[in-house]
Amino acid sequence: MKILVTGGAGFIGSNFIHYMLEHHPDYDIINLDKLTYAGNLENLRDIGPGKRYRFERGDIADADLVRGIMDQGIDAVINFAAESHVDRSILEPASFIKANILGTHVLLDTARERRISRFVQISTDEVYGSLGATGRFTEETCLRPNSPYSASKASADMIALAYHRTFGMPVLITRTSNNYGPYQFPEKLLPLAITNLMEDRSVPIYGDGLNVRDWIFVMDNAEAIDMVLHKGEDGEIYNIGAGHESTNISLVSSVLGIMGKPSSLIAYVKDRPGHDRRYAIDPSKIMTALGWSPRTTLRDGLKMTVDWYTKNVGWWKRVRSGEYLEYYEKNYSAKGLKTDSR
Ligand code: NAD
Ligand code: TYD
């Protein structure tokens, strides 16, 4: 199988590529990524020689480029590429509309033209909006996105489903809860907390800290996406979640405990505008229909994540300072995109 993974230099995409190369060594993977501030080829540098992996730098909204890649006999597209940070979407929505909506549309249009046999759109539980104290999101829950980020993801979902219903395109959608694990850019809560604490800096907690997120270890999500790709039904949506609900303050307190840091390093700050109160995923559909279940407990996942950031100080320091872009220019770009591992 030849797969086009978009956004594969980001957090989930790079973990997914590692997962796929390990579990399907006979697959070919092309990774199309624009390398925004969140995309980092260092996430993929330990892909050994002989692996069937190739990198292309570019924008999913560039129709000519996408057409050229899809003409190389692609069987499936998995679209991770997106602007992904809610706080940035509040400051600058336009780039979210362009990448997440227009970019997805270009991929869908080209995949339709080239009769690609599988298109997996990677979406988020945030499209459902905010829950009260009880209940969980099912695939039937109405979409009520509240941030420019979640609204752009909901729009992309709607266009993807319309392409299935109108043109019979083999589209599938995954909606996953908050991921955590290695290679996550340290602007999101967990890597921000871990890296700040490693330098004895405070962790900003928005509002009262009682907002609830449902946490899943990134490799459990990778396995679920692999199952959706192979066993999912066209036109279906699959919610993916591990059932690990936690308030932000309780999550950060667990990290403080694992790292042996004092609670005086917690700093309550002004709340995020339109801050969704609670997310919780009901994953029964993917568990029953595809036989998926999460493998990693929150406690184990947090320990593995803290351990990874502790062992990869160079990675997050370069990412934080923007130095990894220089690393890219030096190691890849200047040498003529030396990114094919074959
Ligand atoms: P990320 O920000 O770490 O990575 C996004 C990647 O997409 C980066 O490598 C970036 O360079 C690339 N990209 C951005 N715009 C592009 C464009 N126009 N063309 C090509 N590449 C582009 O994001 P992530 O956390 O890995 O999220 C991946 C996907 O999963 C996103 O679609 C996101 O909405 C979804 N998702 C994320 C989470 C989460 O907790 N992180 C949860 C649910 C769903
Ligand atoms: P984040 O990691 O940005 O993911 P999302 O907004 O997509 O869920 O935030 C997770 C939760 O943590 C969310 O409720 C906002 C909160 N948060 C903080 O309290 N402080 C922070 O510095 C950040 C980045 C997030």
User: What is the tens place of the pLDDT at every residue in 323-338?
Assistant: 666 666 666 554 433 3
CA of 263 from ligand 1 middle (Å) equals 31
Q: Comparing C-alpha atoms, which of 322, 46, 315 is closest to residue 195?
A: 315
Q: Which amino acid is at 57?
A: R
Q: Which pLDDT tens digit goes with each residue over 257-286?
A: 999 999 999 999 999 999 999 999 999 999
Looking at residue 158, its pLDDT comes to 98
293 near 302, Cβ under 8 Å?
no
277 near 132, Cβ under 8 Å?
yes
Q: What pTM was estimated for this model as a whole?
A: 0.96
CB of 204 within 6 A of ligand 2: the answer is yes
What is the best residue among 11, 105, 120, 150 to mutate for testing ligand 1's pocket, by most ligand atoms within 8 Å of CB?
A: 11
Report the catalytic residues: 125-126, 149
Structural domain spans, the chain:
2-179+217-243+279-295+322-337
* Owner of token pair 């995409």: 13
298 near 244, Cβ under 8 Å?
yes
Q: Comparing C-alpha atoms, which of 160, 63, 83 is closest to residue 121?
A: 160
CB of 153 within 6 A of ligand 2: the answer is no
Q: Which pLDDT tens digit goes with each residue over 35-59?
A: 999 999 999 998 977 779 999 999 9
CB of 100 within 6 A of ligand 2: the answer is no
Q: In the structure, what pLDDT confidence band is assigned to residue 339 with cuts at 50, 70 and 90? A: very low
CA 156 to chain centre: 15
CATH of span 2-179+217-243+279-295+322-337:
3.40.50.720
